Amino acid sequence: MLSPGSGNTVIKSKLISRRMFLITAAKAVVMVGLVGRLISLQINQVTKYKSLSDKNRFREWKLAPERGSIKDFFDTKIASSEPLYQLHLVPENAKDLDNLFVRLKAILNITDRKVSYLKRVIKKQKPWEPVIVSENLNWSDFSRINLFLHELEGVEPIVSVARTYPDNSSAHILGYVSQISAKDLKTKEYLQDLAVPGMAIGKTGLERKLDEQIIGKVGYQRYEVNAFGKRIREIKIDQGQAGRSFKTTLDYEVQKYTNELLKDKAAAVCVMDVFNGDIVSLVSSPTFEPNQFVHGLDKDYWDSLIKNDKKPLANKALSGLYPPGSTIKTLVALSALENKIIRPLDTFRCKGKIELYGEKFHCWEKDGHGIVNLRKGIQRSCDVYFYEVARKLGVDRLSETAKRFGLGKKVLSDFIEERSGVVPNTKWKKKYIGQNWYLGETLHSGIGQGYFQSTPLQLCLMTAQIANGGFEIKPRIIFDKKNDNLRKYLKHKNENPNEPLPTDLLVSNFNLKPLFKNQEHINLIKDAMFSSSNEPGGTSYRHRFEDPKFTFAGKTGSSQIKRFTEEQREAEVKQESLPYKDRDHALFVAFAPYKNPQYAISVLVEHGGSGGKAAAPIAKKVIKKVLERHELRRNINDQVGESV
Amino acid sequence: MFQPRSIQSSYSLRDKIVSIDYILVFSVLVLGIISMFAMYSTDGGEFKYHTNSHILRFFVFFGMFFVVSFISIRFWHETSYLIYIGVFILLLGVKYFGLTSSGSKRWLDLYFMNLQPSELMKVGLILFLAKYYHRISIEGVNSFRYLLLPITVLIAPVILVATQPDLGTSILIAAGGVIVAWLAGVRAKFFTISGIAMLALLPIAISFLKPYQKSRILTFLNPERDPLGAGYQIIQSKIAIGSGGLFGKGFLNGSQSYLDYLPEKHTDFIFTLFSEEFGFFGSLFILFLYALILSRIIRIGHMTRSNFGKLYCYSFATAFFIYVAVNMMMVLGLLPIVGSPLPIMSYGGSSMMAIMFGLGIVMSCKIYKDVPVN
């Protein structure tokens, strides 16, 4: 049945179909376009989008490697990475934060200040990011937490690893580790791909020197993360590689002993093996607590370190610069002998003072020492004798000898805190002060005052090189291989007493470098030092050892802080009556045992007064301790092969 | 006993069932089932709220599809205006009683579901105009008299929806209306003139746009402009699709989606999720299903006798195509993010309801293809 307007309807229907055809064609074009786009995205650019998707999906967290440990010569760990108990809190797992903190406060005694700090941190970060409630829990707190764990939802006890030092006896030479700083990242290249947030790196001492090798290889954890950065699951874990461990030449027992001796003093002690330069002990006092630095320093503690006049943070043995005082007299005498300025028996008369170049030069002994030769000059530490010797010797020849024996340059390498000191001469003064040398200054130099500056370690090295018969040694603190050349040479010499080796053969056969022209001169100095410590009238006679096993030969010294005024000199003011800050630094260097020297020692006591009174007694005790452990030490040395 | 089917106005149920276009029904069912898997994947491989409610809705509205199909096309022709008016009233209701969510008022709370009348208007407007142009003679179509009403019934809901604000849906509603007019024979000149007029008004329109709408358009033009803000969705969607490659990452393995990089993955970006997990071939299959559905609708339009049926089927097919194309172009980074669901695939009751209702009328055209309408 067709409607009356059926013709119209048919035309209309055709129009509709025609127009629909156009639209359908357009649809086809769009369809093709969509397929083209799919081809472009999913086939042509699939690699690009796959990598973009993975970049979205995975995130890596670096894992701090375990720091290698540092051991003493007897393999006792003096710096190690030990388990550390921490308490973390994941806010999203905690049902009732306020209640949780009340419970935690009861169990751990956390301060209110800490709680409000933690609450602020929680507000700032995402709910699944943990906050550290306690950096370092002791074992009893940690086990208590574990006991109550079922009622502490959201709390996670974590066992992590942190640098731990057994005590503070070796704080200075070991140094400390602390959080990486922005400056460290910029200046230290090896940290570029290592930087793990929260990683501790060495800031001073051995920790800094060895940092690159001891730090290890960084590991990583790859997680799948969602769009909000929440970790969904672990994909891969690479633990990295623990750092290398190092064996040092230090003796932890001696370190502890010495540290105890120096307690409350501003002082430093160095002990060195005279044959191979192994540093047995190196202590600076007052010390600090290195463990405190590992987990971010407490401000009060930091302030107490910074404000302490005795400068606990400074390693006085390495970076403290002191005029060597009378300890230099050994080198002055040696230089004069070697340069044929004096003969051992040449004498001068000491009347307590001399006047030269319009200036008065005083001897410490106001009444004078009378007739003085080289041996007596060193034994009594007669200043006038050395004024005369120095005057004849001249500062340039003295400085040449002093440098040869290790003064004026760094003893160790890669310790940023170590300083090189000053061995003055005419050129040096011209260059650094811009003035000509005055002859009077030569006299001051002759008794180790004036421009002379040295570290206790340098004085120890100087003494060691005298003690071993005048051979150069290279001090070391990292025990990497046995170094017994000099001992072998001595053994060879003792076994073949009738064929003294010429110098050039010494060098080639035993790889030695003599520092003398005539070894007899060295022996004269050693003998004089013996008399200073062991014969009546010697400056450290009161602190001698009768037992030949421990007998040492030494030289006292005191470095002047402030010149005595004429009035003080007249009034015979004693060091003890001066204000602490004005007292002389006390110095003592020695080697022991005298008959068969093994170790050299230097002791410095800041503002201790005279070397004989303040420094020698300490040296005496340390020498005994070191010599008692000598056999043990040799045994260990003999056990190791040529390399470690 | 046998009357020619051409003049038979009521069929037995058996007749109806026989004359159903099973290819269309089957395509819709397959697409529906695929959408359930996709929804299951958006829920992280669990039967959670979205999956369960999507499955329920699909089958409820799939059932409604048959009910609508079995009702004579004559009935739908007669009630066309009423349906439009009813939906328009609902739109007005949204304006006064609507629910506001993320800054726009689109929903009516019907207690058992939140109804989005603007989705229904997509079909309502087509129905209205199909009936309107069915009656007008070919000469009358282009006279001003007969242009007035279509323009009014088109503009009124578009403005209501655009001010919700929901720019995407309002454009899609308008597109549906324009297509009916075009198919009915309104001269190309008219579309050109109104096109030019709209271009002239564009600057004014832009000044009415909300800042987020402006930013979407700017971002579309240059997604890297703000990779963490407005450009984020486009970039993440492209990454998801692109990283799917030829065969996809596998069911439930779309990392972009389950790690929450994909925004709106249940609704507008459901194709992205599917494409990431099933790759290029999966996507082609979806396109194929849509093309199949379209071709069946067009075929029904071709078969149906009445111009109302033709106009309706062709317009609905075209509108349906536009929804699909706009959504896909959007997630493929070819159009700005305007917020339009993918028919049948996307989560959303109102859209599902409108599409199933629209398809039902198409099927009614098929079943009653020889029934004349007045």
Nearest to A46 among B242, B291, B318 (CB): B242
A19 touches chain B (CB under 8 A): yes
Q: How far is A236 from chain B (nearest CA, A)?
A: 17
A270 vs A249: CA distance, rounded Å: 12
Which residues of A, range 212-231, sit inside 8 Å of B by Cβ? 224-228
Nearest to A31 among B238, B287, B314 (CB): B287
Q: List CB contacts (< 8 A) between B233 and chain A.
A: none
Q: How far is A3 from chain B (nearest CA, A)?
A: 9
B142 touches chain A (CB under 8 A): no
> Greater confidence, B216 or A294?
A294
Q: How far is B260 from chain A (nearest CA, A)?
A: 5
> Greater confidence, B209 or B311?
B311
Checking B163-166 for CB contacts under 8 A at 24+ apart, the result is B163/B95, B164/B94, B164/B95, B164/B98, B164/B104, B164/B105, B164/B106, B164/B118, B165/B104, B165/B210, B165/B213, B166/B104, B166/B106, B166/B118, B166/B339
A428 vs A424: CA distance, rounded Å: 6
A59 touches chain B (CB under 8 A): no
Query: Which residues in chain A show pLDDT less than 50?
Result: 1-5, 643-644
pTM metric for this prediction? 0.70
Nearest to A16 among B183, B238, B334 (CB): B183
Structure tokens at B126: 């087509």
Task: Give the DSSP H or E segment for A639.
Answer: helix A630-639
Cβ separation B137–A30 shorter than 8 A? no
Confidence (pLDDT) at B227 = 61
Q: How far is A154 from chain B (nearest CA, A)?
A: 24
Q: Which residue of A has its CA nearest to B315?
A: A20
Which residues of B, range 304-343, sit inside 8 Å of A by Cβ? 307, 310-311, 314, 318, 321, 325, 328-329, 332, 334
Q: Could you report the per-residue pLDDT of B101-114, keeping only the tens digit for each?
A: 777 788 888 887 88
Cβ separation B259–A226 shorter than 8 A? yes
A5 touches chain B (CB under 8 A): yes
Cβ separation A53–B239 shorter than 8 A? yes
Could you give the 3-state DSSP secondary structure of residue A455? Answer: coil
Question: Model confidence at B11, in pLDDT bands (50, 70, 90)?
Answer: confident
Q: List CB contacts (< 8 A) between B236 and chain A.
A: 56
Cβ separation B239–A27 shorter than 8 A? no
Residue appearing with tokens 């450290």 = A540
CB A259 within 8 A of CB A271: no
Cβ separation B260–A52 shorter than 8 A? no
Q: How far is B232 from chain A (nearest CA, A)?
A: 11
Task: Give the DSSP H or E segment for A360.
Answer: strand A359-362
How far is the CA of A285 from the CAs of A265, A316, A561, A625, B110, in angstroms? 6, 8, 19, 18, 83
Please state the separation of Cα B81 from the chain's center in Å: 20
Task: Give the DSSP H or E segment for A379.
Answer: helix A374-380
Cβ separation B239–A39 shorter than 8 A? no
B228 touches chain A (CB under 8 A): no
Asked if omega into B336 is within 30° of 0 (cis), the reply is no
- What was the ipTM of the complex prediction? 0.91
Give the pairing of strands A70-71 and A246-247: parallel
Checking A370-373 for CB contacts under 8 A at 24+ apart, the result is A371/A347, A372/A347, A372/A348, A373/A344, A373/A345, A373/A346, A373/A347
Confidence (pLDDT) at A198 = 63
Confidence (pLDDT) at A94 = 83
Nearest Cα to A379, choosing from A522, A269, A593, A526? A526
Q: How far is B73 from chain A (nearest CA, A)?
A: 17
Could you give the 3-state DSSP secondary structure of residue B279? Answer: helix
Q: List CB contacts (< 8 A) between A3 and chain B.
A: 372, 374
Q: Could you report the per-residue pLDDT of A502-518, keeping only the tens digit for each?
A: 766 767 777 888 898 98
Interface test with B, best of A16, A40, A52 (most B CBs within 10 A): A16
Q: Which residue of A has its CA nearest to B332?
A: A37
Residue appearing with tokens 């159903």 = B20
Greatest alpha-carbon span in chain B? 72
The ranges assigned to domains in chain B are 13-367
Cβ separation B279–A42 shorter than 8 A? yes
> Greater confidence, B136 or B58?
B58
Cβ separation B238–A49 shorter than 8 A? yes
Confidence (pLDDT) at B221 = 63
How far is the CA of A241 from the CAs of A162, A238, B52, in angstroms? 15, 9, 50
Amino acid identity of residue A389, one-letter, is V
Nearest to A41 among B242, B372, B374 (CB): B242
Domains of chain A: 85-160 (3.30.1390), 252-639 (3.40.710.10)
Q: List CB contacts (< 8 A) between B321 and chain A.
A: 27, 30
Amino acid identity of residue A404, one-letter, is R
What DSSP string runs through B226-269? STTTTTHHHHHHHHHHHHHTTT-S-TT--HHHHTT-STTTTTTT
Q: At residue B220, does pLDDT exceed 90?
A: no
Rg of chain B taking only CA atoms, in angstroms: 21
Q: Which residues have CB under 8 Å from A607's CB, separation 6+?
A: A266, A561, A580, A581, A582, A583, A584, A585
B236 touches chain A (CB under 8 A): yes
Q: At residue B361, does pLDDT exceed 90?
A: yes
Tell me what the mean pLDDT of segment B29-45 comes to.
93
Provide the number of CB pairs (under 8 Å) joining chain A to chain B.
130
Question: Model confidence at B228, in pLDDT bands (50, 70, 90)?
Answer: low
**Three-state SS letters, A50-91:** HHHHHHHHEEEEEECCCCCCEECCCCCEEEEEEEEEEEEECH
Nearest to B259 among A15, A24, A232 (CB): A232
B66 touches chain A (CB under 8 A): no
Nearest to B260 among A24, A34, A228 (CB): A228
B44 touches chain A (CB under 8 A): no
